[in-house]
Amino acid sequence: MKIFQQNSEFDYSWEEVSTSNWRKYGPWNEKTPHVIAVDTLSRTIDPETGILRTERLITCKQSAPKWLNQFLGGQDTSLVYETSYVDAKEKKVTLCSMNMTWNDLLSVRETCTYQPSSSAPDARTAFNQRAEITALCGGWQKIKNSIEQFTVERFQQNAAKGREGFEMVLEMSRKVFAEQREMIRMQQESKILREARI
């Protein structure tokens, strides 16, 4: 098993981060073109805790190298199952994901959390990411090791791109939100002016 872990911070409030998380893989993110679709399978609020639970199916375009593709059977897309838990009272988002494709061969399990940063709880958000990668196929340890090593490296690259892309989404969201607020303000003002004339 190989473990990938990183902790970092975003210079945005928890509210902004947790909202933008829902459009992390939208067109505003130019860094993760390998994510081609995100579908919501279910969404419920726990009546006791108020936690919002969401199940999503993430479709990725596959780009494994030739040697690995031999094991994978040449499929061109891979599927990821993700559950997320949003606790608005505690201000915590937890995302758990696992691979649904090639899960006989490889297990990739990831947990991410977003929480207000302890240094600046109203302005910054702490991000914690941890993934466990295990090759499950029987046979040579050497092959298992190569598969795990390749996967953890690819994971690392995608994590870096994912972060960059999420920064783009956060920036756009803040901009569009400000524009919308301004637009609504202008509309209300012109309404007041119009009524004042009448």
Contact residues: other proteins, CB under 8 A: 15, 18-19, 22-23, 25-28, 35-43, 45-46, 49, 51-53, 55, 57, 59, 79, 81, 83, 85-90, 92, 94, 96, 98, 100-101, 103, 111, 172, 176, 179-180, 183-184, 186-187, 190, 193-194, 197
Closer residue to other proteins in complex, CB, 136/153: 136
Cα dihedral value 85, 7, 164, 62, nearest 10: -70
Min dist CB 115 to other proteins, Å, is 12
Shortest Å, Cβ 128 to other proteins: 14
- For residue 66, the minimal CB distance to other proteins (Å) is 25
Tokens of 50: 């108020």
3-state secondary structure 51-79: CEEEEEEEEEECCCCHHHHHHHCCCCEEE
Which of 51/152 has CB closer to other proteins? 51
Centre a 10 Å sphere on the Cβ of residue 173 and count the other Cβ atoms it contains: 19
- Min separation Cβ 36 and other proteins, Å: 7
In angstroms, the CA 110 to CA 195 distance is: 56
* CA within 13 Å, CB half, 152: 18
Nearer to other proteins by Cβ, of 52 and 143: the residue is 52
Query: Residue 94 and residue 141: Cα distance in Å, rounded?
Result: 33
Give the pair of three-digit tokens for residue 61: 């375009």
Q: Smaller CB distance to other proteins: residue 91 or 163?
A: 91
